[in-house]
Amino acid sequence: MIPYVGQMATSTRTLTQDDFNRFAALSGDDNPIHVDPVFSARTKFGKTVCHGMLLYTLICGALDQHFPGARQIDQDLMFPTPTFVGERVTVRLQVIDVHPTQHTARLETLITRPNGEIACQGQTTVRWNDA
Amino acid sequence: MSKFSIGQKASFTKQITERDVATFAEISGDKNPLHLDDAYAQQTRFGARIAHGGFTFALISAALGTELPGPGTVYLSQSLKFIKPVYFDDTITATVEITALRADKGIVTLKTECANQRGEKIAEGEAVVYHDDAKTQ
């Protein structure tokens, strides 16, 4: 399916400590701010913080769900505010540019927290014809 | 003085196994058959299943969070361009190198690169992070 400019899709996900622990084991990033609730309680954050890159993986998941077959060529990410364990985040993808002959599209990728604050903002280029 | 300096480098290496790719698919929800379905992947121009491109992000995150600047690092931004695919059992090294420091704000900019065991560059980009120790006392 060819994406069209303005096309929008959203997914939601509640982030659990188990998600953080599994991502830490997978990536090797076991920074205590992500995996140690006792340590994190003593920091200015008060609880464990989601890995920025775990948020990014939710973009991968949303892309696969809403734009099956699309493969990422690049991705820019910004993390304006921390996202905490237990928060339900919304991932929104919006197509902003399409190059049908090159089989590529540019999408805005946005993850918001329950209070409406931006957890992760960026853009990606995808290619959808790898056959 | 900040304990960091421009040109300082560190790296993090990991072999990407089939099991890692399956775990990544579970955590992310990205079940693209290019990563999970042999028969499908063989028909693509890659000729075999490949790891999720985003896996390279995870390794850069590990290099930043565990090596340089190290524990306490807070991600502000990351850009990444995927250059070559990562095949199963490839050993990927993520290298981060400090290119700029803002001691007044504790902000560190790093060049980020991932290469496979053959020395081929598979991804490149830039990270901007915050670390308490990057601040001038």
Packed helices A17-27 and A52-66: angle between N→C axes, nearest 10 degrees: 100
pLDDT tens for residues A56-105? Answer: 999 999 999 999 888 899 999 999 999 999 999 999 999 999 999 999 99
Judge: B29–A58 Cβ closer than 8 Å, yes or no: yes
Interface check B39 vs A, CB under 8 A: no
Instruction: Count how many domains chain B has.
Output: 1
Query: What is d(CA A37, CA A47) in angstroms, rounded to the nearest whole number?
Result: 6
Q: What is the ipTM of this complex?
A: 0.87
Q: Is residue B3 part of a domain?
A: no
Judge: A130–B34 Cβ closer than 8 Å, yes or no: yes
> Which residue in A26, A54, A69 is closest to B23 by CB distance?
A26
Show the domains of chain A with their CATH numbers.
8-127 (3.10.129.10)
Judge: A31–B14 Cβ closer than 8 Å, yes or no: no
Q: Which domain holds residue B15?
A: 9-134
The CB density around residue A7, as the number of other CB atoms within 10 Å, is: 17
Interface check B129 vs A, CB under 8 A: no
Q: What is the pLDDT of residue B130?
A: 92
Q: Token match 């903002």: residue?
A: A121
Q: Is residue B1 part of a domain?
A: no
Interface check B86 vs A, CB under 8 A: no
Q: Is residue B112 part of a domain?
A: yes
pLDDT tens for residues B11-48? Answer: 999 999 999 999 999 999 999 888 999 999 999 889 99
Query: What is d(CA B134, CA B137) in angstroms, rounded to the nearest whole number?
Result: 9
* Burial category of A18 from C-beta neighbours within 10 Å (exposed 0-12, middle 13-18, buried 19 and up): exposed
Q: Is residue B2 part of a domain?
A: no
Q: What's the whole-model pTM score?
A: 0.91
CATH of residue B107: 3.10.129.10
Q: Is residue B51 part of a domain?
A: yes
DSSP, collapsed to helix, strand or coil, labels residue A27 as helix
Q: Is residue B4 part of a domain?
A: no
